[in-house]
Amino acid sequence: MMPTRSTDMLFQLIKSLEKAEKRHFKLYIKRSSGNEDLKIVRLFDALDKLKDYDEKGLLKKMAGVTKPQLANLKTHLYKQILASLRLLKSADSLDLQLNEQFDYAHILYKKGLFHQSLRLLEKAKEIANANQKFNFLPQIISLEKRIENLHITRSMQDRAEILSAEANEVSRHIDMVARLSNLALKLYSWYVQHGHARNEEDEKDVRQFMKDNLLPGVWEQTGFYERLYLYQSYTWYAFIRQDFLQYYRYTKKWVDLFTGQPLMIRVETGNYIKGLHNLLNAHFDLRNYRQFEKTLKQFEKFAQTDRVKDHDNFRIQAFIYISTARINQHFMLGTFRQGLSIVPGIEEKLSTYSLFIDRHRVLVLNYKMAMLYFGSADYNTCIDYLQKIINDKTNLRYDLQCYARLLHLMAHYELGNDMLMESLSKSVYRFMAKMKNLTAVEEAMFKFLRQSIPLSPRQLKPELQKFLDTIKHLEKNRFQTRSFAYLDIISWVESKVYGKPMGTIIQEKYLQNKRKK
């Protein structure tokens, strides 16, 4: 079980600190020996030792501190930890360095040292341009304009024209990036909420949305961020529509953008990691076995770099995506039982990082692990994982909620829980119908499950064959087979028809495809 998340921000911040960060904070705070600072060190130590946040217990440990005083101390401690982290992390963060340069330039401006201020601003501008950090340029140019407007600096005579042109160009660039990043974010949000397009109506809506929001002349843009958000937009657009070939093309463009400008891997590490994750998903959907393995090795190697290991967000992000990819690889190869060996490690990390992982990622990993147990014929453990999704109250991934219930039904079918099947089948059918998530494949599945309960093994065989023929006939219609993106129903039915484990059926398909290639 993952621990309950504490909502206390200070407690969360302290629990996120590494040993080196805690040590740095102590050194930082002890430079000033005021009473308040000594009190916040006591508070820091008390919170650090708590397993779960408990304010009553905390007040007992902080003898002589009243509840209102505790609130003030917590606010002070929170600010001091952030100040300590800023000092520690500034060398590693371009954003922090640029902000620091601007702050220094502003201080020099206030002191009346205008030439020194302009020199720092020019340096900051060069760094921002070199790293395509255009969002920093408006405040830099604004301060330059203020200095030139209010004070005689004896700078170049055409300085006003240069600054005006720079401001206009930066404004145009930022506007384009903002519009494209908004489009990418809205499409991704649509997917997180709903999953893949359920029917032609969903597809029509998302096509219209793309048409209404895609800017004219967008393909002529050559800037890194314009291309990045354009490729991201088309990635989500293709993925929602289950156009996996187009999904692959744009995830490849996304990653290749970084390959062509390696400097940006450090500047936009999070987006590079997410690009690798989506490229792996595309290889998985298209069963590009060799390319999947090659990209996974590339990702695993990158995850071992200091850039990822020393950054909390990147390290957690890489863990989630690599764990998902490793499970997917077992799905592709049919090696479900071998895949179970990675589950304890994933569970341990999920517990360690529980404060920092969003519910959507947890839902996806729980579903993936449930599938591993289903493929390994451990249906009881599969059901345990599915219950975590079914009982989750977040309004995310209605599609995953539907298929978790369907897999839950299939697990009970495998366990021979006939007494449950009729009521459970009706309940799942109603839920999927309510969510407009029923396709012809699911309709055929429910029909088969209802009819098969009273049948003997000899009578069941022809019904299974009939069911297999039905769903294979539907295989080419992506709206009718969106369930195949979540459940390998065909391999499951084939395992019943041919009397082989599901993993063996998938392994045979893998070897057959490997020989073809």
The string of pLDDT tens digits covering residues 172-188 is 888 888 889 999 999 98
Which domain covers residue 121, as residue numbers? 93-155
Same domain for 14 and 48 = yes
Same domain for 81 and 30 = yes
Strand, helix or coil for residue 31: coil
Same domain for 112 and 56 = no
Nearest partner of 194 among 242, 140, 262, 227, judged by Cα: 242
1 band by pLDDT with thresholds 50, 70 and 90: very low
Query: Would 276 be classed as within a structural domain?
Result: no
State the total domains in the chain: 2
Q: Is 458 exposed, middle or buried (0-12, 13-18, 19+ CB in 10 A)?
A: exposed
Same domain for 39 and 23 = yes
The average pLDDT across 155-184 equals 83
pLDDT at 481 over 70: no
Neighbours of 199 (CB within 10 A): 14
Distance CA 173, CA 73 (A): 44
User: Which of 155, 176, 196 is a domain's end point?
Assistant: 155
Q: What is the pTM of this model?
A: 0.81
Q: Which residues of 9-45 are buried (b: 16+ CB within 10 A; e: fewer)?
A: ebbebbbebeeebeebbeebbeeeeeeebebbeebbe
Q: 435 vs 286, which has greater pLDDT?
A: 286
Residue 367: per-residue pLDDT: 94
Query: Would 289 be classed as within a structural domain?
Result: no
Contact in structure between 292 and 283 (CB atoms under 8 Å):
yes
Q: What is the pLDDT of residues 432-479, one digit of tens each?
A: 888 777 788 888 888 888 888 777 778 888 888 998 998 888 777 766
**Which residues have C-beta within 8 Å of that of residue 395, sequence separation ≥ 6?**
193
Query: Would 234 be classed as within a structural domain?
Result: no
Distance CA 59, CA 119 (A): 51
Highest mean pLDDT among 136-145, 214-223, 296-305, 404-413: 296-305
Distance CA 195, CA 214 (A): 21
Which residue is it, tokens 């453990």?
Answer: 381
Low-confidence winner among 37-51, 77-91, 389-403 (lowest mean pLDDT):
389-403
pLDDT at 6 over 70: no
Q: What is the pLDDT of residues 30-41, one digit of tens each?
A: 776 555 568 888
pLDDT at 83 over 50: yes
Low-confidence winner among 151-155, 212-216, 359-363, 455-459 (lowest mean pLDDT):
151-155
Same domain for 137 and 122 = yes
Query: Would 399 be classed as within a structural domain?
Result: no
Q: 355 vs 408, which has greater pLDDT?
A: 408
4 band by pLDDT with thresholds 50, 70 and 90: very low
User: Which of 76, 91, 106 is a domain's end point?
Assistant: 91
Query: Would 477 be classed as within a structural domain?
Result: no
The average pLDDT across 5-14 equals 81
The share of the chain scoring above pLDDT 90, in percent, equals 47
Distance CA 204, CA 224 (A): 30
Same domain for 71 and 123 = no
Same domain for 55 and 26 = yes
The average pLDDT across 289-305 equals 97
pLDDT at 2 over 50: no
**Mean pLDDT value across the chain:** 88
Q: Is 216 exposed, middle or buried (0-12, 13-18, 19+ CB in 10 A)?
A: exposed
Strand, helix or coil for residue 263: helix
User: Which of 38, 65, 91 is a domain's end point?
Assistant: 91
Residue 273: per-residue pLDDT: 97
Query: Would 300 be classed as within a structural domain?
Result: no
The average pLDDT across 350-376 equals 91
DSSP state of 4: P
Query: Would 140 be classed as within a structural domain?
Result: yes
pLDDT at 421 over 60: yes
pLDDT at 69 over 50: yes
Query: Would 396 be classed as within a structural domain?
Result: no
pLDDT at 158 over 90: no
Q: 92 vs 51, which has greater pLDDT?
A: 51
Low-confidence winner among 62-71, 113-122, 209-218, 287-296 (lowest mean pLDDT):
209-218
The average pLDDT across 276-299 equals 96
pLDDT at 85 over 50: yes
The average pLDDT across 245-264 equals 96
Same domain for 29 and 41 = yes
Q: Is 66 exposed, middle or buried (0-12, 13-18, 19+ CB in 10 A)?
A: exposed
Using left for φ > 0, alpha for ψ between -120 and 50, and beta otherwise, residue 499 falls in left
Same domain for 97 and 82 = no
The average pLDDT across 135-141 equals 90
Q: 405 vs 214, which has greater pLDDT?
A: 405
256 band by pLDDT with thresholds 50, 70 and 90: very high
407 band by pLDDT with thresholds 50, 70 and 90: very high
360: tokens are 């959507």
Residue 32: per-residue pLDDT: 60
Same domain for 56 and 22 = yes
Same domain for 120 and 81 = no
The average pLDDT across 334-350 equals 96
Same domain for 74 and 18 = yes
